[in-house]
A and B are shown apart, each in its own frame.
Chain A
Amino acid sequence: MDEFESRLKNYFKKNIDVPNQCKNALRNTLYINKKSKKNYYSFFLRQAITIASVGSVFICGVAFATNFNNIRGFFGLGSRN
């Protein structure tokens, strides 16, 4: 290995200061991620509530459309026929 090669190796091998924020990112990420698992549950719960509410509106809509006459009766409007 010539002198230039060994100089190059030294330049690149030399340790550089890793900023604290990067060090913390390496050290704490997995532990922070553990805490954020709880958020996953609340996320899924929110999704479930949204799907359920949209679903119930849809079912009510279908029921309303198919049993239109019955619903008119329910409100005291009498049958259309």
Chain B
Amino acid sequence: MNRVHLLLRLLFKAAWVRKDRAFTALVSVAVVATIATTALTIYSDLESKLSREFRGFGANVIVAKTSGALSLTELASISKTIGADGEIVPVGYAIATEAASNTRIVVGGADIDKLRKLNSSWSFSNASTGSALVGARVAETITHGADLRLSFGKTSAVIKPAGLFHSGSDDDSRVYIPLEDFIRLTDIQPSTALVRIEGRPQEIQNAISRLSAALPQAEVRPVRQITQAQTAVVGKTRSVVLASSAVVVILIMLCMVATFTGSVLERRKDFAVMKALGASNRTVNFLFASESTLLALIGSAAGYILGCGIAFWIGKANFDAAILPQPLLLVPVLLGSVALALIASTAPLRLLQQIQPAGILRGE
């Protein structure tokens, strides 16, 4: 029987004869690997997942032309900068007079569907089959759900409402009509673009700088309360998840080290028998170390798979979007577990080496 064969047999027998001991060690390694994988996977994806939550706040950047209208090339360059995930709604504003009450109303011209999509937090109630969106206060004070007779200086039109909206802002005093009708009635081209940039706080900042550089003729104004709140909330949440994960992972690691160390110390008899049979300190160390390495590898591989599964499920359950496994984490998790197991199993051996095998075997 050669040495390798003997080693394998020793390893296998050590695990098999004391299945329960091997099992508890395996469980403690797997728990550490699982929780570490879960926490790190979630942490790495948290910024983008949380940033998506800020989608509903509406436009986070307003591009306004200081004079004149936004040209098609300017709109195209905004679209290019914000990418496919962003949203852009060009809006033109004019003041009209309501014929019956002789009240001045701000009328906005925009793509109504895009405007509704951008401001998903507004509450909409459908009125009739018209095309205009009527602000809650306009409906309350003037139209009461009826059609709106607006005159824009030379032109005038009867506006049929498609719906009524509540926003809680100045928009409640406005009426939005389709952009083509607006241009036809007022001959004004949109000079403002409501823009929503998708992404993490840093990416939004970068996009804003690129927009400002690309549009020297226009004013690029971040809606600071939204960008600032997003930065604060995303940053703080990331810190909390990181801090609490760090606490959990470190404490549970210590817990695993204690279990491991304890079970090695319990094997002082094995240790003494081996020494008494003539094994050198190195051989014994090697044997214990390879046993723990094997356990740590199996345990952490299982833990990694389980951890990825838990992170995936948490993403699905909480954010309605899966948090995908991070293959890059596999190696650190495996190596970390092995290193921990090695430290936990070989450190107590040093303690045992100071005692004579005979003493241990006699039960001292």
* Chains A and B are bound partners: no
Q: Tell me the A residues contacting B by CB distance below 8 Å.
A: none
Q: Tell me the B residues contacting A by CB distance below 8 Å.
A: none
